[in-house]
Structure 1
Amino acid sequence: MDTALKWIVTFFKLYFYFILLLINNVYEFFVRIFCGHTPAGKIRLRKILLRYRIDPEEISRTEDFLLSPGIFVEPASLDHPNWHIYCIDENLVTFVYLKSSIDKYSIAHYPFMYEHMNADTVQVAQLSHDDFIKLANTFEQKSQPKTVLFTNTARCGSTLMAKMLHHPGKSICYGEPHCLANLAIMDNANILSPEVISLLSRKKPNE
């Protein structure tokens, strides 16, 4: 009986999710028609109308939120410690404004930061790939901390290693931001060209 109940619950979760996904896609279609595409050099700042995920551990996606049409603002608005990249798809980069500054989501507090980002999101901002690259170039003109990226497989002890490398005041470690998983998935599926993947991931020519 328990197994049957679990299957029924799972079925209705999936059914509800696909209905929401359909509504979201139709809604976004009309937003683009009546509100227009985001002008070049601007970001679309949007309020959350509804958030829904089947599993808190699934890959972060643009469709995790049903959003208001929003307003257009300058990309410089994202220069704040509470803004963080949530996900990247074939057209947009989605930022979220979190309840706390990004350092609160380090490995010292959360082994997997993505599990808490959806629930802690207050507001959403979206911009095109081109404007994201321009914004990143602007940020790179400022003094930036050195960044090291470790890739890993499941059950390899990466969380333990990250905690060992985390030393407040000297180094800060984050566990599994999903924007990198988004890029890896699109690269593997040939959704985006290697050149675009390199630009979005800020990969240097000699890397």
Structure 2
Amino acid sequence: MSVTILYCSLVALVFLILWKFTVLKTFILNLWEALTISSYYVCHAVVRTLQRVVWSCNGVKDHMVMAEYGAVYESCVQVQRIIHRGRFSTMNHPRPWDFIGLHENFTHPQVLLSPYVSLYCVTETHAYFLQHPDDVDVHHSRTSPFMYMAQFEHAITLYCIPLGHFHKLADEVGNPQIPVIWISNTGRCGSTLLVQMLENVPGTRCMSEPDALTNISLMDRAEQMSKEGINKALCSTIRMLCKPAPGIQRIAIKSRFNCVTEVDQVIQLFPEFHHLYMYRNMGNIMKSYYKFLHRDLVMCMLEWLVNNNLVSRLIPYVRNYLVHFIAGEESKKRAVRHLADVNFMGYVTTFVGSCVVEFQRLLETKAISMPTLHYNDLMRRPVEVTTEMFELLSLPSHYVQMALTAMQHDTQKGTILSNISNSSNNLRKMTGQDVRDMNVMLSVLGLPDMNEELRLPNGICG
């Protein structure tokens, strides 16, 4: 009996030591990641300050100012060689300061039409493009499941063009001359799989989350530009994303979930586009968000700031700032009264749910008939649903089987968003408080709760 007790005690001690070591190792790795990224931004701030001084002395700044005021179109694009890069979170939308670059020269905007140059982000004043190696296709899922990740990882040159000249170049390019499929979605609903299915159709270029669109959506939500400015930026961005390329017969663009608020403008600007909205039951969406958000260090830090009562009182800015990510004025009015009483996942649910509400409003108030695709329908009847979808999107039906081969792979392999490769690393478990707060906000927004089914009109059911 005593031997058994001793053995069990030793096993428990070893387990405790290993557990403590794992926790300590995780803490050290997270601390190192935070320090590394923080040091990058400090370094970037120092470099930018020094650059401003140097550029003021050597005339670069004067040339940039002239370009910003509409002059020197032939040499309005600043070229910088990228020497370092860093992003604080996978969830961050692209920003110019993701890169540290050294000024090389100024050049003609025609350089931005190269097939090896792609639009990365748009601000209130400039548009930023990236050049990648000739053997890297940043649009294709074999490079990365998401375009903005591929661009960030493989960029070698940064191009900066003032927004006025960006519009002029986009006007020269004109509207897309080939069919375009615009895919809106709730996120975590199989939309990445859908893009990779379409990618298997020969002659189709697919863009999974080109985040210049996300920049525009967030600027619109924060009222950083006028409505006229947003529409012009959106039009120019789409034109540049769809610039002519050899062998491309059609383009499919899947935006992030928050870009659903711009769908109405897209329809008005480009009425010939095909549209599709993909979604899933809210419970499945939010559980999937919960998994990958807790693999991201910055999201975990943000959660702590929101959920800690003392910190929330001392730094109310954090919760107040997050309100800007809610889509639609009506959803914002409904939600604000309840957000003070919910945790971080209540906020995330509000962000996602408000975009679903905005899509419902689009269907109801604008009388727009747009096909909708429920993930469960695609999984239950893949052949029938894909065949009907191809017909609605004017795609050749004989490529249906080829498209369905995308289902045999992990569509988000190599990223924290993959629920397959990261399943064993997901140590965080959803709490009862998380579920309660998510259901509270779903109810406030008038959406089905975590255990109910969400159904939208115009469904593709096969």
TM-score bracket, shorter-length normalisation: 0.7 to 0.9
Paired residue secondary structure (2:28): helix
Q: Does 1:206 align with 2:240?
A: no
Q: Which residue of 2 aligns with 1:160?
A: 193
Distance 1:103 1:168 in 2: 17
Pairing of 1:58-207 with structure 2 (within 5 A): 58-100=92-134, 103=137, 105-107=139-141, 109-140=143-174, 144-202=177-235, 206-207=268-269
Distance 1:24 1:91 in 2: 21
Distance 1:109 1:43 in 2: 27
Query: Which residue identity does 2:231 align to in structure 1?
Result: S
Deviation of residue 32 (structure 1)? 5.0
Deviation of residue 183 (structure 1)? 0.9
Task: List per-residue Cα deviations over 1:57-105 (Å, max 9, x = no partner).
Answer: 5322100111122311111122210010011122210001111377552
Distance 2:103 2:138 in 1: 29
Deviation of residue 161 (structure 1)? 1.4
- Kept in 1: contact 2:145–2:192 (CA 8 A): yes
Q: Which of 1 and 2 has greater Rg?
A: 2
Q: Does 1:26 align with 2:26?
A: no
Of Structure 1 and Structure 2, the greater strand share is in 1
Distance 1:101 1:134 in 2: 29
Deviation of residue 7 (structure 1)? 4.5
Identity of aligned residues (%): 24
Query: Which residue identity does 2:188 align to in structure 1?
Result: R
Task: List per-residue Cα deviations over 1:118-177 (Å, max 9, x = no partner).
Answer: 121121111011111100111117x73222322222211101211222244342211111
What's the C-alpha RMSD, in Å, of the aligned pairs? 2.5
Paired residue secondary structure (1:68): strand
Distance 2:162 2:187 in 1: 32
Deviating beyond 6 angstroms after TM superposition, the runs of 4 or more aligned structure 1 residues are none
The number of residues matched between the two structures is 206
- Kept in 1: contact 2:136–2:143 (CA 8 A): no
Query: Which residue identity does 1:44 align to in structure 2?
Result: Q
Deviation of residue 110 (structure 1)? 3.0
Q: Which residue of 2 aligns with 1:5?
A: 28
Instruction: Extract unaligned runs of 5+ from structure 1.
Output: none
Deviation of residue 188 (structure 1)? 0.9
Distance 1:185 1:80 in 2: 28
- Kept in 1: contact 2:44–2:100 (CA 8 A): no
Pairing of 1:17-56 with structure 2 (within 5 A): 17-30=40-53, 32-34=55-57, 35-36=60-61, 37-38=63-64, 39=67, 40=71, 41=73, 42-56=76-90
Structure with the bigger RCO (C-alpha within 8 Å, sep 6+) is 1
- Kept in 2: contact 1:94–1:124 (CA 8 A): yes
Q: TM-score, normalised by structure 2?
A: 0.41
Query: Which residue identity does 1:5 align to in structure 2?
Result: I
Of Structure 1 and Structure 2, the greater helix share is in 2
Q: Which residue of 2 aligns with 1:15?
A: 38
